[in-house]
Structures are given as structure tokens and as C-alpha cells.
A and B are shown apart, each in its own frame.
Chain A
């Protein structure tokens, strides 16, 4: 397939000699307009790749923070159609920052795979992460997505052993998302040495960039993980930054976009000093 914004961004960062900061936020949380302002704030604060969360009623691989964010978004009327519209709105101002949609399969299946891929492409989507589609189900969405010129980014986990890795990597493109631990999003980050070992193991099987997520919350952790990984994914901490400025009735006690920007600026400094840390 042709180069995507993800491929170009990852290549540029490799040139620059630093890992990517990949930021996840929930589309439509706490409402469409606020969420769009958060999305626009992300690249300005130093995010290199945006993961746009598609809310789902039953997010089996997510911890309490992202579960709650998804429910807030659904309650505010977010749909897959609106999430795609949000990406298109963002694209009017930014044609460079890669956008990866992340979520679960059922809303896409119900939307219709072909129609979804056409609309996603038209909205400026570059990649997909669909948690409940392992390589065994590649015919569903992965293969059609690759044909449509959209990266399908696969999760590799600590249970993906060397025997299975080739199968997981077979149709993966853009980057490999290494899930740092056994568990759900937002759990505690494991020993960074172990993560570095796992990243090295995956790199032995592929030339694709390897980004690490699940459990990275602070600039210090981003720096430590970024010393070995090609990218650091932060999600729950961003979703929490939004939740923290929401009052009990959903009223805003501060600007969510500003709260997210402050957090992301710190994380961006973390990844920018990652390779320096490794060198020293």
C-alpha cells in the first residue's frame, strides 16, 4: 500500500532521532464541540499521532476511566458518524497529523465495512486499531482496510510469543502497538526494563515502528519507555484530565482542552528527552 501520514510521520521522527508521542482521547467526550477543541489542541501541545477513540457501550479491554469517558460521549449523542465528522473537521486545519481510530468492531460492522472505509478515508483517517479483531478475523476489516489504503495497526501483547508474532505482524502496517502488560487500559505500568526487552523482541521480527501503551501516565514514564520504543501511547491520563475538570453534573470547572494541553506538553517534553536519557 502507499505511504500514509503515519508512515511519513514515523519516518520523520526516526530522522529526528526521537520517539513519537501518541495521544488517545475519546471522541465526543464530554460533548462534540469540546472534544473537537481537545483534538485541535493535541498537535499544538506536542502530540505526533492522534488516536481518536470511538465510544462503545461494552469496552471489554478498557479500565474504568475510558469506560466512563465512552459513556459520557454516548450520553452526549456521539455516534460513529459524528466521530468521522470530527476527524473531517480537524482535517480542515491540519492535513499532517496522523489520525488513528481506536475502538471495537460492532459499531463499524453495523455501519457497514465498505461504507465505513470509504467515509473514513474521505474524513482523513490514516489507521485503525480495533481491539476485538485478532489476526484470525482479518477477512472482516483488516484486509479490506489495507486495500482501501488505511493502516491496520495490530496490538501485540506479553502473551504474543515468538511463535505467534509473525501471524500478528503479517497484515500489520503503520506501527505495532505493544500492550505493556496483561490487563486493561489504565492499569499500573510494569517494569520498564521488561518493556524494553519486549520491544527488542518485536523489533527482531519487523521493521515497523513499535509504540508502547497501556499504563503510561507521566512525563517521566514517557521518557523511560521512549528510551527503547519508537513511540509512547498515552490514553487514560488524557481521559482523566478531561474528567477532572468536569463537575458532578457534567458542568466544566475549567477548559478541558487547556487541561489536556498542559498534560500533553509535559509528556511531549518527556519523549523529547527520551533518547538523551538513553545516551547518558
Chain B
């Protein structure tokens, strides 16, 4: 691929057209364009409005439980016998993942814009649950689109969303995963654009979504950076996060981008391996294209038709990635690597046994990467793994993989 010249700062994007280099943009139907421009205006006003920031801060503290802890994973570190591993405990947030950070920010934007109905797409159900949660908290009706395959493999989350008062609409098109849910959410939005706010769950979609989701998730990296400095007196050597659409990853990466000594690694879902179609490693095995409102790396065939992909983890089961990640890949600032289903499964079990923490399968991909590199690093070096979510939702999938019934 083309390698653009390294910029003075990696933290200034996107430009006023919503582009990160050639990535990003606003590739949407005209019906949505006026609303997207409204959203951009509202977002630009909100981000400098002290009242908005104060309300978000208060909800983050008292409702979501921030700041999340930076925890020294002593058991896992001892087991691997290399670099010291720290977990950024996003799994301890209200609703059990990082998704609540973005949902709180966006529900406040929706209210500012006077929207009275919330729609969302979800893969693993973590974003669906977080959306249903904030919708319940602010008494707004919420419709969640979820691939039929994901409805099947994430039943506990489907039930949680329903308990929270959301309507869950299974989508059977394609493979019935996140991509199909996003198509259907966009169709709903185009139909109900006047009263509806589309609460996108990842740092993708048309501008300004990638930017605003990143800003709401950057609290992860801002905290982690300060906590590391406070606890260890220096920055980490490596930061690792799993990348599906990439919201938890951009959230923890962004505040470290201009720290040149911090190596940053994004982990994509390698599924059954990159040689066939059974993976979701869009940046390792895809090429740039246009889908869901932005240009980014996509899994596609030579005719530009989007492939479905595969991952054991519903949250990573998406053939694209947020546009800022595509740009960070091409500039070389962040390294993106695949982790296979079986490696993630092993990490899931090892983390559970050595730390007493059941990680989400998404986060298990990041832990698996730490397992690969920690033994090769010195004992005085440090790694932060973004533990983006808890794994209770995945126990059925894991049991099936292990040939057990529960």
C-alpha cells in the first residue's frame, strides 16, 4: 500500500471533510445528508459546551462507574514470565463493556437535537445493551437491529435488551451478523430520519461518527495513560486492543498516538486463518473500499462485493473497520495483527484461570497477542491490554467450542 509521510501529530484528524487521509468521508444517501450535517453542527457545539461536558462527566462517574481501574495482572504476568501486563478494566463499567462510554455521550447529543427515538445496530449485543440502557435511563424508545446469527449466539444479551424495554429486530440477510444489522439500521434511519437518532456503536460510519465515537471512547486512553504514569512512573511499552469496528481500540490508542516510544498493536479477528474467507481481518487481508458511509479497509471480492467474514467473537464479526484505523495502518503508527479463533479461546481460558477474570471473546483476542509478545519482552517492560468487556455473554459459545453443554 501507499505509505503517506508521517504527520507531525497523529491526533489532529479528521479534516473538515471528515477524512483521515483517503479514509472516512460521507458516503450516504441524500436523505441522510441534511441530518448528518445537523449532527456535525450539534457535535461541534457540544464538544466545547462546558454544560454538556459536565453532564457527561457526572453520568460517567455516577452511572457508568468511571474511572475504570488499571489493574496489574500478576497471575498472567507470572504465568507468561516476561513483560508486566496491565488490564484496563472496561469490563467493570456499568453494562459490562466500554460501549457505555459512547452511548452516554451520544444519548446526550440525541437529546440536544430533540430526537425522540433511538436506533442502534449490535453484533455481540454489548452495544445493543448499552444503547437500551441509556434509552431506558432517558426514557426514549429504542429499536436494536441484530443479525439473526448473533441473536442466536448472544441470547443473554438479547434478553437483557428486552428487559430494558428495547425492541430487538433480528436481521436474516447475509450471514445475519453485524454488517447486515448495520444495513437494516440505515434503512430504518432513512425511513424515520425526522424523529430518529442513529446511535452507531463503533468508530465507523459517515463523518462525524468516527470522530465523535473516538472522542467519547478516548476517556479510556486518557485514564490509562495517567494511571500508568501514576502507578509506574512511566508510559507503557506496548498498548494492545482488539479491533472489530475499532471503538475500544481507538479509545485507548488515541491518547498514546503522539508518544513515539509506545508501541501500539491492534488485534483483528483471524478466525480460522487468513488464507480463506473465514476471518474478519480487513486490514491484514482486505483493501480500501466504500461501505456504511465511509472509505476504509474492507473484505471484498474483485468486483467490490462485500464478503461476510467470520469470527468466533460476534463483536469482531465485521468485514470493515473504522476509517481512522485504516489511516493509522497506512501511516505505520499502529501495527495490526490477526489472532485466530483457537488462540482467542486459549487466552479466554488462561485469563479466567490465572486472573479470575472472564474476559469477553473480543478482549480475549487482545490478551492472546499479549501472550505472544510478553514472554519475548524484559520483565521491567510493561503492556496495557484493553480489557474491553466481560465474558459472561460468551459462556455459551465457549462451552460449545469446548464440546460442553450448560
Is A182 positioned at the interface, with any CB of B under 8 Å from its CB?
A: yes
A82 to chain B, nearest CB (A): 9
Knowing A58-B179, A106-B306, A109-B304, say if A159 contacts B191 (CB, 8 Å).
Answer: no
**CA of A111 to CA of B290, assembled, Å:** 12
Tell me which of A59, A67, A136 contacts B17 (CB under 8 A).
Answer: A136
Which of B20-28, B96-104, B277-285 binds A?
B20-28
Q: Are B289 and A179 in contact (CB under 8 A)?
A: no
Neighbouring A residues of B174 by C-beta, 8 Å? 57-58
Report the nearest A residue to B35, measured CB to CB. Answer: A159
Is B305 positioned at the interface, with any CB of A under 8 Å from its CB?
A: yes
**CA of A74 to CA of B304, assembled, Å:** 11
B390 to chain A, nearest CB (A): 31
Tell me which of A61, A107, A184 contacts B303 (CB under 8 A).
Answer: A107
**CA of A136 to CA of B190, assembled, Å:** 18
1/0 per position for A38-61, CB-CB distance to B under 8 A? 000000000000000000111111
Give chain B's interface secondary structure class: mixed
A63 to chain B, nearest CB (A): 8
Q: Are B187 and A134 in contact (CB under 8 A)?
A: no
Neighbouring B residues of A131 by C-beta, 8 Å? 29
- Total interface residues on B, using CB and 8 Å? 36
Is B169 positioned at the interface, with any CB of A under 8 Å from its CB?
A: no
**CA of A209 to CA of B25, assembled, Å:** 30
Is B183 positioned at the interface, with any CB of A under 8 Å from its CB?
A: yes
**CA of A164 to CA of B31, assembled, Å:** 11
Is A105 positioned at the interface, with any CB of B under 8 Å from its CB?
A: yes
Q: Are A182 and B31 in contact (CB under 8 A)?
A: yes
Knowing A74-B305, A110-B303, A159-B35, say if A182 contacts B191 (CB, 8 Å).
Answer: yes
Report the nearest B residue to A154, measured CB to CB. Answer: B30
Is A202 positioned at the interface, with any CB of B under 8 Å from its CB?
A: no
Knowing A67-B173, A137-B26, say if A160 contacts B303 (CB, 8 Å).
Answer: no
Knowing A61-B187, A107-B305, A182-B190, say if A132 contacts B173 (CB, 8 Å).
Answer: no
Is A143 positioned at the interface, with any CB of B under 8 Å from its CB?
A: no
Is A241 positioned at the interface, with any CB of B under 8 Å from its CB?
A: no
Q: Are B190 and A184 in contact (CB under 8 A)?
A: yes
**CA of A119 to CA of B226, assembled, Å:** 56
Q: Are A183 and B304 in contact (CB under 8 A)?
A: no
Considering residues B27, B174, B191, B298, which has the most beta carbons from chain A within 10 angstroms of its beta carbon?
Answer: B27
**CA of A74 to CA of B179, assembled, Å:** 18
**CA of A131 to CA of B192, assembled, Å:** 18
Tell me which of A58, A164, A187 contacts B183 (CB under 8 A).
Answer: A58
Is A245 positioned at the interface, with any CB of B under 8 Å from its CB?
A: no
1/0 per position for A74-117, CB-CB distance to B under 8 A? 10000111000000000000000000000011111111000000
B6 to chain A, nearest CB (A): 25
Neighbouring A residues of B17 by C-beta, 8 Å? 136
Neighbouring A residues of B290 by C-beta, 8 Å? 104-106, 109, 132
Q: Are B187 and A60 in contact (CB under 8 A)?
A: yes
Report the nearest A residue to B194, measured CB to CB. Answer: A182
**CA of A111 to CA of B192, assembled, Å:** 33
Is A155 positioned at the interface, with any CB of B under 8 Å from its CB?
A: yes
**CA of A19 to CA of B379, assembled, Å:** 78
B39 to chain A, nearest CB (A): 13
Residues of B within 8 A of A (CB): 17, 25-35, 173-174, 179, 183, 186-187, 190-194, 289-293, 295, 298, 300, 302-306
4 more contacts with CB within 8 A, not counting A134-B26, A137-B25, A157-B29, are: A60-B29, A106-B300, A135-B33, A156-B30
Residues of A within 8 A of B (CB): 56-61, 63, 67, 74, 79-81, 104-111, 131-137, 154-161, 164, 168, 179, 182-184, 187
A-B contact pairs, 29 of them (CB 8 A): A58-B292, A60-B187, A61-B186, A61-B190, A74-B305, A79-B303, A80-B304, A106-B290, A106-B291, A106-B304, A107-B304, A111-B303, A132-B27, A132-B293, A133-B27, A134-B27, A134-B28, A134-B33, A135-B33, A157-B29, A159-B30, A159-B33, A159-B193, A159-B194, A164-B34, A179-B30, A182-B31, A182-B192, A187-B191
